[in-house]
Amino acid sequence: MENSLDQIQIKWHKLLKIAENAGDRSHSIVSMLDDLGERYIMAPAALSSHQAGACPGGLLETTLSVIKKMSSLSRALDLDVSTESIVVVGICHSIGLLGGPQQGEDYLVRQDSDWHIRQGKLYKFGENVTKMPVAHRSLYLTQHFGIRLSHDEWQAIALSGGQSREENRFYVGSECTLSVLLMQARQWVFGDSNS
């Protein structure tokens, strides 16, 4: 679903308001979001039209959805997870979809092949970004912008791609509550299309 510029702007202000609930890290998170600015605001969250977030503003939209689902699940299940951790992990877990920290290091760029576009592949992988899993890039960008993570927050972001990923199999059966909460919220938002 394509977002209008007005809708994207409203969602951006909502995310900045949510970021203020990140406790003593709120300044670092807001500063990161401000620094990334339009790159973050307009970033897609997926390659193909059949995936959630495959549009300008997709990363912003899916991030807000994941935070909302994490909060809802935490309340419904009466989990002992802080709002601060939900906000930090919700914002930082998919920041790696942007690519590198600099302009021109985008992970997802507009597709220039008409054939691919007709197949529903609206974006392609950027050529100027270092190859690494999105979760690892998310952790890299989080530390690049000086955002400290607790052990559980680090694990949740590291495992955000799902338990079936080779690099995450070590943790199966010993995931912290925050990791499971994030994986479930992502499943709810993305379904099977983007796990």
Q: What is the pLDDT of residue 69?
A: 96
Where the chain has pLDDT below 50, the residues are 192-195
8 Å CB contact between 63 and 90: yes
Report the SS3 class of residue 123: strand
CA distance 34 to 25: 14
Amino acid at 174: S
Q: What is the pLDDT of residues 20-47, one digit of tens each?
A: 988 899 999 999 999 999 999 999 999 8
For tokens 């079936």, the residue is 164
Q: What is the pLDDT of residues 129-153, one digit of tens each?
A: 888 899 999 999 999 999 999 999 9
pLDDT (0 to 100) of residue 170: 64
Handedness of CA 151, 106, 4, 9 (dihedral sign): positive
Please compute Rg for the chain using Cα positions.
16
pLDDT of residue 194: 43
Question: What's residue 15's pLDDT?
Answer: 96
The confidence score (pLDDT) of residue 79 equals: 93
The SS3 call for residue 38 is: helix
Which of 192, 188, 185 has the alpha carbon at shortest distance from 67? 185
- pLDDT score recorded for residue 172: 67
Q: Provide the pLDDT for residue 47.
A: 87
Residue-range domain boundaries for the chain:
5-190
* Overall pTM surpassing 0.75 (yes/no): yes
Strand partners, 99: 106
